[in-house]
Structure 1
């Protein structure tokens, strides 16, 4: 374990020149740099903080300590989802969790963070560009920033994320470095053919890749060049949940994808593989539904518009239908929001239905279009999940039972 070389500026921060809050944050960053054998620190241009999601008293204690010590973030810093929907507070069923969640979210705003409260900061303006060093937490945000934007962030957990924001520094290690960003295994998706035109293919493929490679860096061949950011979002989120994927390359699409990869091991993916993944990821096969939840990660503007088009006409929903999105996206929806709410869609902001007490504990069968939600919700909420496309989710909500096209 080596001690990183610190610049005169960094030594001054560590020594307390900028206050006790900055010194505390710098001790955390330097400690992590030692653990990861980083030779130095790197200046970052932005941070995304996951620590605002309440996980117990320690969450509040650390945030309040930073506030008491006068700490402030020194780079643009967005906030991940919290445990509370601040716009629709009655949606959260646990009063104690709601109170603690609100207190924690407020503490991070007091530190100077922007109250975005979204797990998809890449949907906001001024997102980082190619090659920028950033310190983002939240697994799907990390994999999207690295893969689709070509920015550079390692996987940063709670407390390390806000300390990076306060110091403007991160350890120069892991995916901050060029050498660590090279692909390690190829997934040949060409046998999937036209199935890759289906939206359900992307969460299934992501879940399969994550389960197979863990924290390795996959290189994908055979993905259509016109693949959308929302589809890449679904792929990355599922891969980061099922494994530890923080970067993937799509040949011909993502900015760092290699042109030559003949020396890498190859895994073939066909439709039968993804059908098996769908069966394994769905913890119940069919029957009556209790609810539907979409928008994990947070639904983009385009996804909200598409949902509005699907629900604008037709029979009413027979089960509650939840859509999670960011507050910035909600502000853009205008007439789209009116259409959604008129159709019975419950729009959730600032949080997500698998991390806080929004769904009734009596509900046991829930449908989603998210590989990430289907992966986490059974353990978090004690529900059984079934994975479907957005049209399948709408059709099922209207029927009150699972309807799948295939």
Structure 2
């Protein structure tokens, strides 16, 4: 791999042992990928504060420096961790003390995470603690090279913002934060960003639910390729693009999609393919829409719902406003729990706008920093949950062994108030 003089200096240890270890990891990583060089990044989104048994063991042995060295740098040496070289943020992590009394989430995990936050914030990590960093200040520009984890964040970064990142891991982002470098391969290369598959919607895609269903179909159909989607598509808002991308990355492994006239690099369908020959279109019609809906609801049998989960990916202020409006003057059904996940920064605005008060008056909880899938916890005794997120409907039954219902926001609020699931797929 070609290294600049600056990169050679970092690798030689001129900026300390941690930076040298980070460069060593990036060189090995890049060579394994076939990257010819590294590129510069000033935008890293990773994970280092969320608790785990492995991190707890390493912390007991040598503190957070030891944990970061082993998990985020693949280094067994005892080294000091300096301040991050470039802006870096922590994505979503475990729950905080907000869930005390709401779930059996271990208190020791909360204490461990609080300690980690103090350590890493001192080293320049912005603890945004959200899967949607673009909603709370981390908003890269078109063409900017990033090093992001989290599948729904990666697909949004590439497709909606037009920045450039692969779906990185804890080690590569850990090394990128200390060096400002990441292998130049995959989605960083312009020629690797053109569409490779074509999907045409022959049934209308207009509502939040429909964008989730369409995304779930697209991901399953193209897997890890780059789809251009066209057809009977309504003008999407950012929340709909957020749900669409998250669904494509859930049923498949999509890291980038193109919607002609919407996404930055696809002013036209021809531009999405870079002038290359277009493949035959995959058709999304009424039958495919119905099949996606039934797949997402295949693990629901009981209509008695005891847990309603909203905010995956983390809810925006617009979504929180809609939820508060639907809950105004209502009370949750006895035995039903409503959790709404949002970034902590948006929670403060929701408090100010009165949304939180309305949600709590109804008996719901507005929670931050994590989600049941990330923290592997739900209200004690949960058997059946409902959600408006294709991503959570797909993952949570496997993670927690509970039944799932997928529907609209209105159907989820109705389930929270009545304790019963009455969802059905409306005509497109």
Alpha-carbon deviations, 1:54-106, whole Å to 9, x = none? 34315773952248513321222111111122555554522343344444444
Q: Which residue of 1 aligns with 2:346?
A: 329
Q: 1:173-229 deviations in whole A, cap 9, x for unaligned? A: 01011111111101101x112xx2221111111111112211100111026452011
Say if 1:130 and 1:223 are closer, same or farther in 2 by CA, change over 3 A.
Answer: farther
Count residues with an aligned counterpart.
400
Question: Given the alignment of the two structures, is residue 132 of structure 1 paired with residue 149 of structure 2, yes or no?
Answer: no
Distance 1:82 1:106 in 2: 14
User: What is aligned with 2:269?
Assistant: 259
Query: Contact 2:387–2:405 at 8 Å: present in 1 too?
Result: yes
TM-score by length of 2: 0.88
Structure 1: state its 5+ residue gaps. none
Asked whether 1:146 is paired with 2:158, we answer yes
Task: State which of 21, 32, 35 in structure 1 corresponds to 2:29.
Answer: 32
SS of residue paired to 1:367? strand
CA change 1:160–1:106 in 2 (3 A) is farther
Residues 107 and 159 of structure 1, relative CA distance in 2, 3 Å threshold: farther
How has the CA–CA distance of structure 1 residues 43 and 115 changed in structure 2, closer, same or farther, with 3 Å as cutoff? same
Q: Shift in Å at residue 315 of structure 1? A: 4.5
State the alpha-carbon separation in 1 of the partners of residues 417 and 169 from structure 2. 39
- Could you tell me which runs of 5 or more consecutive residues in structure 2 were left unpaired when the two chains were aligned: 70-78
Cα deviations by residue, 1:291-320 (Å, 9 ceiling, x for unpaired): 100101100111111111111133534411
Q: CA contact under 8 A between 2:307 and 2:379: conserved in structure 1?
A: no
Quick check: 309-318 or 201-210, which moved more?
309-318
Pick aligned residue for 1:212 from 216, 221, 236: 221
- CA contact 1:150–1:255 (8 Å) conserved in 2: yes
Give the SS at the match of 1:129: coil
- 1:117 and 2:132 correspond: no
Secondary structure of residue in 1 paired with 2:93: coil
2:283 to 268, 286, 297: 268
Equivalent-residue separation in structure 1 for 2:213 and 2:48 (angstroms): 29
Who is 1:301 aligned against? 317
**Pair 1:57-2:73 in alignment:** no
Counterparts in 2 of 1:122-271, with a 5 A limit? 122-189=134-201, 191-193=202-204, 196-222=205-231, 224=233, 226-257=235-266, 258-260=268-270, 261=273, 263-271=278-286
Work out the CA distance in 1 between the residues paired with 2:101 and 2:127: 19
Is the contact between residue 203 and residue 232 of structure 2 (CA under 8 Å) also seen in structure 1? no
After superposition, the CA RMSD in angstroms is: 2.0
Shift of 1:267: 0.2
1:155–1:126 CA distance, 2 compared to 1 (3 A): closer
Distance 1:88 1:284, change over 3 A: closer
Residues 369-390 of structure 1, C-alpha deviation per residue, up to 9 Å, x if partnerless? 1111111101111111110111
Question: Is 1:77 the equivalent of 2:88?
Answer: yes
Structure 1 183/29 Cα, relative in aligned 2: closer, same or farther at 3 Å? same
Counterpart position of 2:72: none
Report the equivalent of 1:393.
Answer: 412
Q: Residue 355 of structure 2 aligns to a residue in which SS?
A: helix
In structure 1, the residue matched to 2:295 is 280
Determine if contact 1:51/1:159 at 8 Å carries over to the other structure: no
